[in-house]
Amino acid sequence: MALARVARTGLRRSGSAFGSYAREKITFYGGEYTRKFSLESLPSCVNIKANDDFLYISGIKKQNYMNFPIRGISTTRHHEYPAAERVVEESESESEYEERRYAGLEATKPGEKPRVVVLGTGWAACRFLKGLNTNIYDVVCISPRNHMVFTPLLASTCVGTLEFRSVAESVSRIQNALARNPNSYFYLASCTGIDTGKHEVYCEAVNNGGLPREPYRFKVAYDKIVIAAGAEPLTFGIKGVKEHAFFLREVHHAQEIRKKLLHNLMLSENPGISEEEKKRLLHFVVIGGGPTGVEFSGELSDFIMKDVQERYTHVKNYVRVTLIEANEILSSFDISLRQYATKHLTKSGVRLLRGVVKELHAKKIVLSDGTDVPCGLVVWSAGVGPSEFVKSLNLPKSPGGRIGVDHWLRVPSVEDVFALGDCAGFLEQTGKPVLPALAQVAEREGKFLVEIFNKIGKENGGKAFSAKDIQLGEPFVYKHLGSMASVGRYKALVDLRESKDAKGLSLAGFVSWLIWRSAYLTRVISWRNRFYVAVNWATTFVFGRDNTRI
């Protein structure tokens, strides 16, 4: 490699060909030799390969390059030999790539603050980040997105009730140390593996062509790691779901749904569109009768009854919303609330269809009983499950495939590894059930774990392998605070029971809607976003929803 650098430097500085042995002018890459070129005169340390189109240097054997004769270099300028420098640079970059493939943060040294690596920016990760004492720890957050999404209000952004920035909070605002502290970082990347023995995380940057190589990989050494990588939508292996359905988990999902919704409304007004095609384009189908599916159906019905009726008068009579559920909608809610939701949605124009989806196609849904349901937009909200990353980790698993944890959210059998949120579940031997994938579960786990970390740090247990003998205190206990769901038209459901079979207060109607809005407004993380949400609600109430397709 050193000889390659000398050769390249000689080319740049003298404007000459590669060494005195290449005296004759040659055109590489599809050119022809201008004169006979003698390979016999080259030293044995240089390997030359040639074919009809290309002459290149394949390698240079080890030799004392200081003895390489460079004084008699010919005067042919280097720009006439573009391939020579390119080959050297390509060879060098490949070797450097192998050497630096996993460049990154090395292990912390004695005297430095312990480093906590957090994987993810969901509810659990951000609640943990918010409370972590950065006077004790340096923190590194790794995630393919740089913000937290307030998922309970995400459905409202699809139809213009709220703007997208109102439900997204930058992770550097949640934990200022990521932007300010010299040894704390946020990396826009996906984790590809964890070596629990070496205490290293291997990552791949989210690249859009702006980095020197693709894929761009690096590693980060940790003292403690918190896995809060979330979950992925469950498709149950049904053909066509990933290709033709829209999910509702991220801001970009809501943006895609909004664009498709408005696009279909405008397309259907074009001349020459048949009645049948208009009905298909304007048939919006929601699959999954949980809180997300019901809230999105309610938002859609509001949008149709108010804004579509006023602004798309030519096609308003063709718009339909169908909610498909295999069992009962809102199965975790009180039976009286389920009945109220069913009546209210039906009254609002939402068709409730009980069935199991067999296949999804670009323009129709096939149910298990053979029924075809033509559709122009499909939103899939049928639950979540472990991601491919979580499945790939060589860690204990809980029932359902999540990362298995003990009473203190530690991963047994490995040191300094913790997991929480939708990607984690209690191991079977703990005797605890796997908790539902809810925001309040993730938030409570994040709050519990950060208290443990701050306690460990104060007792000098933050470094790797140094917290074995520290008492962690009381184990994690989850107490359900209740469930809420909006069903549209200023109506909502509030179920304050601790469990499905327990007794407790249940409300439905306008008062519940006020409670729902007040509760979510107070749970929005920053005052800035609370202001945005309040202003968006007020603007929508006075002027209606924005139907601009951007």
**Longest CA–CA separation in the chain, Å:** 96
Q: Which residues of 201-214 are buried (b: 16+ CB within 10 A; e: fewer)?
A: bbbbbbeeeeeeee
pLDDT at 43 over 70: no
Locate 267 and state its tokens: 């397309």
Q: Is the pLDDT of residue 311 over 70?
A: yes
When pLDDT is averaged across residues 328-357 and rounded to a whole number, the result is 95
Closest CA to 485 of 340, 316, 363: 340
Neighbours of 315 (CB within 10 A): 19
Q: pLDDT for 119-139, tens place per residue?
A: 999 999 999 999 999 999 999
Question: pLDDT tens digits for 276-291?
Answer: 999 999 999 999 999 9
pLDDT in tens, 378-429: 999 999 999 999 999 999 999 999 999 999 999 998 999 999 999 999 999 9
Asked whether the predicted pLDDT for residue 69 surpasses 50, the reply is: no
The Cα–Cα gap between 201 and 377 comes to 39
Token reading at 123: 């509810």
pLDDT at 51 over 90: no
Average pLDDT over residues 71-85: 37
The winner for highest mean pLDDT among 62-71, 210-219, 470-479 is 470-479
Which 8-state DSSP code applies to residue 384?
Answer: E
Rounded-to-integer distance, Cα 462 and Cα 474, Å: 19
Arithmetic mean of pLDDT over the chain: 84
First to last CA, the chain: 51
Burial 461-478 (b: 16+ CB within 10 A, else e): bbbbebbeeeebeeebeb
Rounded mean pLDDT, 243-268: 96
Round to whole Å and give the CA distance between 201 and 393. 12
- Work out the average pLDDT over 58-62: 40
Looking at the chain, how many residues does it have? 550
User: Cα angle at 14 between 10 and 20, to 5 degrees?
Assistant: 65
For residue 369, the 8-state DSSP code is T
Report residue 169 as tokens: 């909070």
pLDDT band at 54 (very low <50, low <70, confident <90, very high): very low
Distance CA 243, CA 251 (A): 19
- Pairwise CA distance, residues 161 & 544, whole Å: 8
Q: What is the pLDDT of residue 546?
A: 83
Q: How far, in Å, CA of 537 to CA of 438, rounded?
A: 24
3-state secondary structure of 52: coil
Question: Going by C-beta distance under 8 Å and a sequence separation of 6 or more, which residues neighbour residue 157?
Answer: 163, 164, 166, 167, 251, 254, 255, 258
Look up residue 154 and give its two tokens. 């995400």
215 prior amide bond cis, ω within 30: yes
Give 42's DSSP letter: S
How far from 330 is each of 87, 382, 386, 478, CA to CA, in Å?
64, 12, 22, 21
Q: How far apart are CA 229 and CA 211, in angstroms?
A: 25
**pLDDT given for residue 103 in this prediction:** 80
Pick the more confident residue, 80 or 234.
234
> CB within 8 A of 469, min separation 6: which ones?
none
Q: How many CB atoms lie within 10 A of CB 269?
A: 12
Judge contact between 324 and 414, C-beta under 8 A.
Answer: no
Q: Are 93 and 86 in contact (CB under 8 A)?
A: no
The whole-angstrom distance between residue 443's C-alpha and the CA centroid of its chain comes to 18
- The per-residue pLDDT for 102 is 67
Return the pLDDT at 491.
96
Task: Please say if the pLDDT value at position 355 is more than 50.
Answer: yes
Quick check: 375 and 345 in contact, CB under 8 A? no
Torsion of CA 431, 127, 258, 294, to 10 degrees: 40
For residue 361, the SS3 value is coil
Residue 208: predicted pLDDT: 76
Q: Higher-confidence residue: 213 or 370? A: 370
Q: How far apart are CA 155 and CA 294, in angstroms?
A: 10
- pTM for the predicted model, two decimal places: 0.80
Dump strand ranges (E) for 134-256: 138-143, 147-149, 168-170, 185-195, 200-205, 217-221, 224-227, 232-233, 246-247
- Measured CA to CA, the distance from residue 372 to residue 267 in angstroms comes to 23
